[in-house]
Amino acid sequence: MSSGLDHIRVEELKKRGIALGNCPHVLDNAVADIAVGLLIGAARKFKAGIRELESGQWKYGVQWSTGLDIAGSTVGIIGLGGIGQAIVRRLKGFDVARFLYSGRSDKPQAKALGAERVPLEHLLKESNYVVLACPLTNETQNLINADTLKLMKKNSVLVNIGRGGLIDQNALYDALKGNHIFAAGLDVVTPEPLPKDHPLISLPNCFILPHLGSATIETRNAMASIAANNILLALEGKSMLFPAY
Ligand SMILES: O=C(O)C(=O)CO
């Protein structure tokens, strides 16, 4: 019951003739909702605010509460697949000025969405919000590292709904701690579950959720239905709804 395949040794299954199916696309909307939630939560300091509230420190008019606008911003999506596209559709309602994307190929849907394909470096330099919505592969492992974080704007926000392994978390910690970037919103981390004394959890500008991307009743039911059908079809010797290879 997952869309991502990074936790499975696909080549080994292929070699052994073991069928593999996954559940893509039905989770695009639910994951995109979480991406927007993280983007707002990180930009508007939800975590620092909740800490102030819970510790009885709530004061009016203090500078710590000042966040960032979304209207007028440039949003860069790394990976304009089904989830990336659903994120752009949602953020259009927030008056974003410009959408950029980077990825392996041109997406025919990009034109209608008003998203421009640019090289990764360009996207990182130009974006106020950088959203990771790509799978974890050998190519994308640690895509966000000390060097690529340096390219990001000082007041930028990084959101990750892909996989924890897309980010070098030590480098992210340094960038957040040194306020080189403004904040991060992460639904995925390494490892999962993240131990409660992990340094990223201590940072007020690192807003983390425990991998809630696909966790809605409707989406999980739809994923279960696809998984069950995949199994039944495979047992009958037919092609699965979503064969993974
Ligand atoms: O299905 C997956 O791959 C997910 O990460 C769901 O959140």
Predicted ipTM beyond 0.90: yes
The pLDDT value given to residue 159? 99
Report the percentage of the chain scoring pLDDT > 70.
99
Pocket of ligand 1 from Cβ distances under 6 Å: 2-4, 27, 31, 211, 213-214
Q: Where are the beta strands (DSSP E) in the chain?
A: 74-78, 98-102, 115-117, 129-132, 157-160, 183-186, 206-208
Query: Using one digit for the tens of pLDDT, what is the confidence trace for 84-104?
Result: 999 999 999 999 999 999 999
Ligand 1 centroid to residue 162 C-alpha, Å = 8
In this prediction the pTM is 0.96
Residue of 3, 161, 186, 226 to mutate, ligand 1, most atoms within 8 A of C-beta: 3
The C-alpha atoms of residue 182 and residue 162 are separated, in whole angstroms, by 20
Which residue's CA is the closest to the ligand 1 atom numbered 6? 214
pLDDT of residue 101: 98
Q: Which residues are tagged catalytic?
A: 211
Q: Please write the tens of the pLDDT for every residue from 19-56.
A: 999 999 999 999 999 999 999 999 999 999 999 999 99
pLDDT beyond 90 at 57: no
Q: What's the gap in Å between 2 CA and the centre of ligand 1?
A: 5
- Amino acid identity of residue 192, one-letter, is E
Alpha helices, DSSP H, located in 152-216: 169-177, 199-202
pLDDT of amino acid 62: 67
CA distance 158 to 181: 8
Question: 64 pLDDT exceeds 80?
Answer: no
Share of the chain above pLDDT 90, in %: 95
The mean predicted confidence, pLDDT, of the chain is: 96
Q: What is the pLDDT of residues 125-137, one digit of tens each?
A: 999 999 999 999 9
Q: What is the pLDDT of residue 65?
A: 87
